[in-house]
Amino acid sequence: MGMAAESQFHVLAVDDSLFDRKLIERLLQKSSCQVTTVDSGSKALEFLGLREGSESNEPNALSTSPEIHQEVEVNLIITDYCMPGMTGYDLLKKVKESSAFKNIPVVIMSSENVPARISRCLEEGAEEFFLKPVRLADINKLKPHMMKTKLKNQKLEEIEEPLKDENGTVKAAAVEPKIEDSTEIGIKILPLQSELEPKQLHLQVVQQEEQTLCNNKRKSIEEGLSSDRSRPRFDGITTAV
């Protein structure tokens, strides 16, 4: 059936009801999704690697714990609204407040159709609000949301991967080859120009010198002719009477 190839989406399902968890898990698996189920909002945060910052001045602040950070990519979170301790709305807010996981789509489920509750969740960033029991048609609506997350993560990987070496350290972006290519072209062109220019200049100088000599000769000849013509033609000649 190619189940492994098709299981490209991973969903974190949160519900305090065992029956509802099994139901949502079965529906997601029919849609070829990998599913992780937890029974509370706090366990969902723990799975994501988020914990409430005890050292922060803000009691509700979240921080990422590297020791428990999960390696599996989560493409969507679907959570029940009514749960003891942390409600689905509280979980939604904490996920959206996290810089690391705010782009994960969150879907809320509830057995109660309360318009104000639905509006509040959608305004806080929930992608969908489903009424229980959740059906397969509802699960099919989740695929476009999961696909967007998948594409975003792939683009980020494509951008970051070329900048890392074998040890995983970030390398500086190589932006100089274009400049080097242009200088190499310039270096190749310049010798050709430097070989042609002396010959052309030499020819021009020779031509100018020849032209100057011709002009000077012509000028001197013309001056000599004009001086000869200005002299009296009868000097040194006597006329006999």
**Domain boundary pick from 163, 180, 200:** 163
pLDDT at position 8 is 79
Residues 208 and 103 in one domain: no
Same domain, 158 and 218: no
pTM higher than 0.75: no
Q: Does 139 lie in the same domain as 199? A: no
Secondary structure (3-state) at 34: strand
Same domain flag for 117 and 201: no
156-200 pLDDT, tens per residue? 566 655 555 556 555 555 454 554 554 444 444 445 454 545 556
25-51 per-position pLDDT tens digit: 999 999 999 999 999 999 999 999 987
Same domain, 198 and 158: no
- Running DSSP on this structure, what letter comes out for residue 102? T
Give all strands (DSSP E) within 72-139, no chain letters: 76-80, 106-110, 128-131
Q: Compute the distance between CA of residue 8 and CA of residue 146 in angstroms, rounded to an integer.
A: 10
- CATH number where 139 lies: 3.40.50.2300
CB atoms within 10 A of CB 89: 20
The backbone region for 129, taken as left when phi is positive above 0, alpha when psi lies in -120 to 50, beta otherwise, is: beta
Same domain? 210 vs 144: no
In this structure, are residues 217 and 224 in contact, taking their beta carbons and an 8 Å threshold?
no
- Both 108 and 10 in one domain: the answer is yes
Which domain range does residue 198 map to? 189-226
The answer to the question of residue 196 being in a domain is yes
Same domain, 94 and 197: no
Computed on alpha carbons and rounded to an integer, the radius of gyration of the chain in Å comes to 44
Same domain for 212 and 105: no
Boundary (domain end) residue, out of 148, 163, 178: 163
- Report the distance separating Cα 114 and Cα 10, nearest Å: 29
Q: What are the pLDDT digits (tens) for 6-31?
A: 457 999 999 999 999 999 999 999 99
Residue type, 229: R
